[in-house]
Each structure stands twice: as C-alpha cells, then as structure tokens.
Structure 1
C-alpha cells in the first residue's frame, strides 16, 4: 500500500496506522437500511486523506454507496497492537484507467484475474471527512500491567491515545 505525506498534519498519524493495518472493514447501507460491512484492501491513502480501493462495477457496494448519499465508514483494527482507526467518509465510484494503472499490483489479481484491463475493475474513492483513532503504543505486557494496576487501585484503565481528526 502506498501512502503520501498528508496536507492535513493531523491526518499523518491516521496515515501511519492505516498503512500498517491496510485491510479495512467498509460499511455501507443496503436497500433495507441495514449496515453491511466487508473487508477491503486499501491501495493508497493520498496526500488529501483520500483512500483508494479496487472493486467490481457489479458489486452491491457500488449501488449502496450511490443510493445512500455516498456515506461510508472504514474500520481498521490491529488487535495485537491495540491500534484502531475509524474513518467516516464520502465514497465515489470512479472508472479512472490512469489511476488504476498507478495503483495496480499483482496482489489484486486473485480478485481481478483478467488484470488491470478487466472491464469489471473500477475504483472506490473515499474522501476522509472525519477520523478517530485509538493507539496503545505500549507492549502487551505494559497493557497487562496497566489493567492490573487499574483493578488493584480501582482507577480507570489508561488506554493510550484517542484522537478525533476532521479533514
């Protein structure tokens, strides 16, 4: 996954976390109003905080995005490091062959066996409206001792950094 230095410096931490995690659960709203999520590999986070994904034109998510004001949520989680990112954004399906060429890698071939010229291949572009992250930089052992400390002392567990960023 490619990431670029963010124009909004507050998104730099979000970029670093997304780059490490890479797979998001993308949530959209279906025709019955249900929230539905599916895993998506992020191909790029550009300098404007826009995240780029490959998808199929015939995928239900493309229609769901268009029917519901283009609003999506992206959730990234690395439970092992206790790092979590939630991004609320505006999505758009975009058939941009130059951008597909730029982002294409053989890692996408299992989903698009015809390659980057597959007529079903399109992009989902998600502009970050707001992001929130939780970052517990400490090791598991430090987190364990912090939990034990909070139990013994009756105080609140100190989870680490929790920040909201608007773009």
Structure 2
C-alpha cells in the first residue's frame, strides 16, 4: 500500500472539466436482489448545484431501482486521454417539462421518438456525495518523462509530476 496521500478537494469544477468530453458514464444501481446493475448513460450536463443530470424512460429499471435505493455510482473512462473518474451519490427521478425542454437535443429522439414532449421522459438527478478522478497525460513526452524519472531516481511517478489524482468530497 502506498504511503502517499491523495489530495482532497471540495471543488467539483476539476471533476466536471475532466468528464465533460467523456459524456458516457456507466450508471450503477442496485437491482431488486441488491445486485449491482450497470448500464451506459449519456450525461446531459452538470448543474450549478453540483449535480449531474440524465434523461431516461419512466418505465426503465433505473427509475425503479433508484426509487428503491437511491445510492448510485457513475464511472467515466476515456482511455485514449487517460482520464478516469468514479462518482458516488444519490439519485432521484422526476419529471419537469421545462427542464426537459432545456436539456433536450435532437439526437435524443433516437430514445424518445415523440420528442421532448414525450410523457415518458424522466430526469435522473445525481447529487454527488464524493468522487475521485485520475488524469495521466498520455503524450509520448509525458510518458518518457515518467520513465526517465523512474530510471534516474528509482521512484515512480507521483501526482505532482505527470499524474493528476484527487478525491472530491462535497
């Protein structure tokens, strides 16, 4: 086990900056048997209050599952960019036609053919309790620097040279 401390922040801005290009999260809930159940979901946008919003169908298992147990986890990964994040929080499902209209984009029609007026659209709001992210520059120079540092010093890369790693506690 490493003796280095992971930096802790209370600011969600860096987390949102890391995941904004990833867009798809693996959204994990507990099913009716308390077994973890994950599926890909597109993050619509982060809110000013620090929550994350998703659109889903009112009859989906996600809505049923978050109504039974609101604890969820979101995992974001962009291997090409070496960006990873895990977000834990509480989800709730609700319907707000004005907010749905604000969040709507035409590509969502693939899931909601009736458009933003579809009465089956629900908003899943995830209120973040805590998160953790990792961002390792994936460029050749960054990797070469980390390698050279390890060879010369005998020490592995740390978060202050080529890697960025932080916990976010809200």
State the TM-score bracket (shorter-chain normalisation). 0.7 to 0.9
C-alpha distance in 1 between matches for 2:12 and 2:83: 15
Name the structure 2 match of 1:160: 163
Gapped regions of structure 1 (runs ≥ 5): 1-7
Residue 108 (str. 1) matches residue 108 (str. 2): yes
Is the Cα–Cα contact under 8 Å of residues 54 and 121 in structure 1 kept in the other structure? yes
Name the structure 2 match of 1:4: none
Which protein shows a greater Rg?
Answer: 2
Cα displacement (A) at 1:146: 2.4
Name the structure 1 match of 2:16: 15
Highest relative contact order (Cα 8 Å, sep 6+), 1 or 2?
A: 2
Gapped regions of structure 2 (runs ≥ 5): 1-8
Name the structure 2 match of 1:91: 91
C-alpha distance in 2 between matches for 1:144 and 1:33: 45
Root-mean-square deviation (Å): 2.1
- Length-normalised TM-score, structure 2: 0.84
Is the Cα–Cα contact under 8 Å of residues 149 and 156 in structure 2 kept in the other structure? no
Name the structure 2 match of 1:66: 67
C-alpha distance in 2 between matches for 1:157 and 1:65: 39
Name the structure 2 match of 1:45: 46
After TM superposition, which residue ranges in structure 1, 4 or more long, deviate above 2 angstroms? 140-159
- Length-normalised TM-score, structure 1: 0.86
SS at match of 1:10: coil
